[in-house]
Amino acid sequence: MGGSILGEALPSALGTGYSRSRVSCPCGGKARFINNRAKTITTLVSDFRIRQAYYHCSGCGEGQVPLDRLLGLEGST
Ligand SMILES: [Zn+2]
């Protein structure tokens, strides 16, 4: 392993981040799978257009995208 995920793997190999219909939310609740959302990732090599699974928690109203977290693309830390 090692190196850049984005540089070495085809977007299709990444999948959407979907794992199951519900995932745990930081608030302690459960976030429900809503849909897949398109996203373009720009890298030094090229642009990738991918699809990401989007989850939404009805408890706290927060949305989350597991694939963003996996790739380290979340805007804030
Ligand atoms: Zn929540």
* Beta bridge partners of residue 39, listed in sequence order: 50
Q: Is the pLDDT of residue 29 over 80?
A: yes
Domain ranges of the chain: 5-71
**Ligand 1 mean position to 32 CA, how many Å?**
10
3-state secondary structure labels for all residues of 29-74: CEEEEEEEEEEEEECCCCEEEEEEEEEEECCCCCEECHHHHHHCCC
pLDDT digits (tens, 9 = 90+) for 35-55: 999 988 888 888 888 899 999
Which pLDDT band holds residue 1 (cuts at 50, 70, 90)? very low
**Ligand 1 mean position to 26 CA, how many Å?**
6
In the structure, ligand 1 is a single-atom ion and the residues with CB under 5 Å from it are 25, 27, 29, 57, 59-60
